[in-house]
Amino acid sequence: MRKPDPERLPSVRHAWRRLERARRRAHEKPWARAVLRVLQLSDYRKAAPRDTRWIADRLGIAPAEVERGLIALRRAHALKLHWTNVAMKRAAERPVSFGYSLFEVPRSALRKLMALHLDYVRAMQHIVSNSRGTECIGLYCAQLLDLASRDNALAQGGAAES
Protein backbone atom coordinates (compact mmCIF):
# COMPACT_ATOMS: atom_id res chain seq x y z
CA MET A 1 0.00 0.00 0.00
CA ARG A 2 1.29 3.46 -0.96
CA LYS A 3 1.80 6.07 1.73
CA PRO A 4 -0.48 9.11 1.43
CA ASP A 5 1.13 12.34 0.25
CA PRO A 6 1.13 14.77 3.22
CA GLU A 7 0.73 17.68 0.77
CA ARG A 8 -2.67 16.30 -0.19
CA LEU A 9 -3.87 15.86 3.39
CA PRO A 10 -5.24 19.15 4.76
CA SER A 11 -5.02 17.86 8.32
CA VAL A 12 -1.23 17.53 8.21
CA ARG A 13 -0.20 19.80 5.32
CA HIS A 14 0.85 22.77 7.50
CA ALA A 15 2.87 20.67 9.94
CA TRP A 16 4.42 18.73 7.06
CA ARG A 17 5.53 21.91 5.29
CA ARG A 18 7.01 23.31 8.49
CA LEU A 19 8.90 20.07 9.07
CA GLU A 20 10.16 20.04 5.47
CA ARG A 21 11.37 23.66 5.75
CA ALA A 22 13.21 22.82 8.96
CA ARG A 23 14.76 19.75 7.34
CA ARG A 24 15.85 21.78 4.31
CA ARG A 25 17.41 24.46 6.49
CA ALA A 26 19.13 21.83 8.60
CA HIS A 27 20.58 20.15 5.51
CA GLU A 28 21.37 23.28 3.54
CA LYS A 29 22.72 25.38 6.41
CA PRO A 30 23.30 23.03 9.36
CA TRP A 31 25.39 25.57 11.28
CA ALA A 32 22.83 28.40 11.10
CA ARG A 33 21.13 27.36 14.31
CA ALA A 34 24.45 27.11 16.15
CA VAL A 35 25.44 30.54 14.84
CA LEU A 36 22.15 31.92 16.19
CA ARG A 37 22.90 30.44 19.61
CA VAL A 38 26.38 32.04 19.65
CA LEU A 39 24.82 35.43 18.84
CA GLN A 40 22.74 35.03 21.99
CA LEU A 41 25.69 34.31 24.29
CA SER A 42 26.66 36.95 26.83
CA ASP A 43 30.31 36.34 25.81
CA TYR A 44 29.43 37.38 22.26
CA ARG A 45 27.85 40.64 23.43
CA LYS A 46 31.02 41.39 25.44
CA ALA A 47 33.45 40.37 22.67
CA ALA A 48 35.40 42.95 20.74
CA PRO A 49 35.48 42.76 17.83
CA ARG A 50 32.35 40.72 17.23
CA ASP A 51 32.90 39.24 13.82
CA THR A 52 32.61 36.00 11.90
CA ARG A 53 36.07 34.89 13.03
CA TRP A 54 35.05 35.13 16.69
CA ILE A 55 31.93 33.03 16.01
CA ALA A 56 33.91 30.58 13.87
CA ASP A 57 36.50 30.12 16.61
CA ARG A 58 33.77 29.58 19.18
CA LEU A 59 32.12 26.87 17.05
CA GLY A 60 35.28 25.41 15.53
CA ILE A 61 34.13 26.03 11.95
CA ALA A 62 35.32 28.12 9.00
CA PRO A 63 34.33 31.81 8.83
CA ALA A 64 32.69 31.08 5.46
CA GLU A 65 30.36 28.61 7.19
CA VAL A 66 29.46 31.28 9.75
CA GLU A 67 28.70 33.72 6.93
CA ARG A 68 26.39 31.17 5.27
CA GLY A 69 24.61 30.73 8.60
CA LEU A 70 24.24 34.50 9.02
CA ILE A 71 22.76 34.80 5.52
CA ALA A 72 20.21 32.08 6.32
CA LEU A 73 19.29 33.87 9.55
CA ARG A 74 18.85 37.19 7.71
CA ARG A 75 16.53 35.50 5.21
CA ALA A 76 14.44 34.02 8.01
CA HIS A 77 14.27 37.49 9.64
CA ALA A 78 13.21 39.04 6.32
CA LEU A 79 10.37 36.53 6.07
CA LYS A 80 9.15 37.48 9.55
CA LEU A 81 9.31 41.17 8.61
CA HIS A 82 7.32 40.49 5.44
CA TRP A 83 4.44 38.88 7.33
CA THR A 84 4.52 41.55 10.03
CA ASN A 85 4.19 44.19 7.32
CA VAL A 86 1.29 42.28 5.76
CA ALA A 87 -0.41 42.17 9.17
CA MET A 88 0.05 45.92 9.70
CA LYS A 89 -1.32 46.77 6.26
CA ARG A 90 -4.32 44.49 6.60
CA ALA A 91 -5.07 45.82 10.08
CA ALA A 92 -5.50 49.26 8.54
CA GLU A 93 -7.80 47.92 5.79
CA ARG A 94 -10.23 45.55 7.48
CA PRO A 95 -11.49 44.20 10.79
CA VAL A 96 -8.84 42.24 12.65
CA SER A 97 -8.21 41.03 16.15
CA PHE A 98 -5.59 43.49 17.31
CA GLY A 99 -4.51 44.97 20.57
CA TYR A 100 -1.51 46.22 22.43
CA SER A 101 -0.44 46.67 25.99
CA LEU A 102 2.42 48.79 27.23
CA PHE A 103 3.34 47.93 30.80
CA GLU A 104 6.00 47.87 33.46
CA VAL A 105 6.91 44.68 35.29
CA PRO A 106 9.94 43.10 36.93
CA ARG A 107 12.33 41.10 34.72
CA SER A 108 11.07 37.83 36.15
CA ALA A 109 7.49 38.68 35.18
CA LEU A 110 8.52 39.57 31.62
CA ARG A 111 10.30 36.23 31.34
CA LYS A 112 7.15 34.47 32.60
CA LEU A 113 5.11 36.37 30.01
CA MET A 114 7.48 35.16 27.29
CA ALA A 115 7.06 31.56 28.47
CA LEU A 116 3.28 32.03 28.44
CA HIS A 117 3.48 33.51 24.94
CA LEU A 118 5.49 30.52 23.71
CA ASP A 119 2.97 28.14 25.28
CA TYR A 120 0.18 29.95 23.46
CA VAL A 121 1.99 29.78 20.11
CA ARG A 122 2.59 26.05 20.56
CA ALA A 123 -1.08 25.48 21.47
CA MET A 124 -2.16 27.49 18.45
CA GLN A 125 0.15 25.51 16.14
CA HIS A 126 -1.28 22.30 17.59
CA ILE A 127 -4.82 23.43 16.75
CA VAL A 128 -3.75 24.40 13.22
CA SER A 129 -1.98 21.10 12.58
CA ASN A 130 -5.01 19.12 13.83
CA SER A 131 -7.59 21.15 11.90
CA ARG A 132 -9.61 19.64 9.09
CA GLY A 133 -10.63 21.62 6.03
CA THR A 134 -9.16 24.57 4.22
CA GLU A 135 -11.71 27.38 4.36
CA CYS A 136 -9.58 30.23 5.69
CA ILE A 137 -6.01 31.46 5.72
CA GLY A 138 -5.04 33.03 9.01
CA LEU A 139 -2.05 35.16 9.86
CA TYR A 140 -0.89 35.34 13.47
CA CYS A 141 1.64 38.05 14.19
CA ALA A 142 2.66 38.94 17.74
CA GLN A 143 5.64 40.44 19.47
CA LEU A 144 6.62 40.53 23.10
CA LEU A 145 9.73 42.52 23.76
CA ASP A 146 11.68 44.37 26.37
CA LEU A 147 11.93 47.96 25.10
CA ALA A 148 15.29 48.37 26.83
CA SER A 149 18.17 48.48 24.38
CA ARG A 150 20.68 47.44 27.05
CA ASP A 151 20.42 44.69 29.63
CA ASN A 152 17.39 43.25 27.87
CA ALA A 153 15.40 40.82 30.03
CA LEU A 154 14.49 38.61 27.08
CA ALA A 155 17.90 38.46 25.40
CA GLN A 156 18.66 35.04 26.89
CA GLY A 157 15.11 33.74 26.51
CA GLY A 158 15.15 33.15 22.76
CA ALA A 159 12.25 33.71 20.44
CA ALA A 160 9.31 31.73 19.22
CA GLU A 161 10.20 29.66 16.16
CA SER A 162 7.89 29.35 13.20
- Of the candidate ranges 19-33, 61-75, 126-140, the one whose mean pLDDT is the lowest: 19-33
38 located within any domain: no
Number of domains in the chain: 1
Q: How far apart are CA 143 and CA 151, in angstroms?
A: 18
61 located within any domain: no
150 located within any domain: yes
7 located within any domain: no
159 located within any domain: yes
Q: Which domain holds residue 150?
A: 99-162
Alpha helices in 29-162 (DSSP H): 32-39, 42-46, 52-59, 63-93, 107-129
105 located within any domain: yes
What are the two backbone dihedrals, phi and then psi, of residue 155, each rounded to the nearest 5 degrees?
A: -60, -35
Tell me: the pLDDT tens digits for 38-56?
888 888 888 777 789 999 9
Tell me: the pLDDT tens digits for 94-119?
888 877 888 999 999 999 999 999 99
51 located within any domain: no
Could you tell me what percentage of the chain is helix, strand and coil, using 3-state DSSP and rounding each to the nearest 5? 60, 0, 40
pTM as predicted: 0.55
76 located within any domain: no
pLDDT of 33 over the 90 cut: no
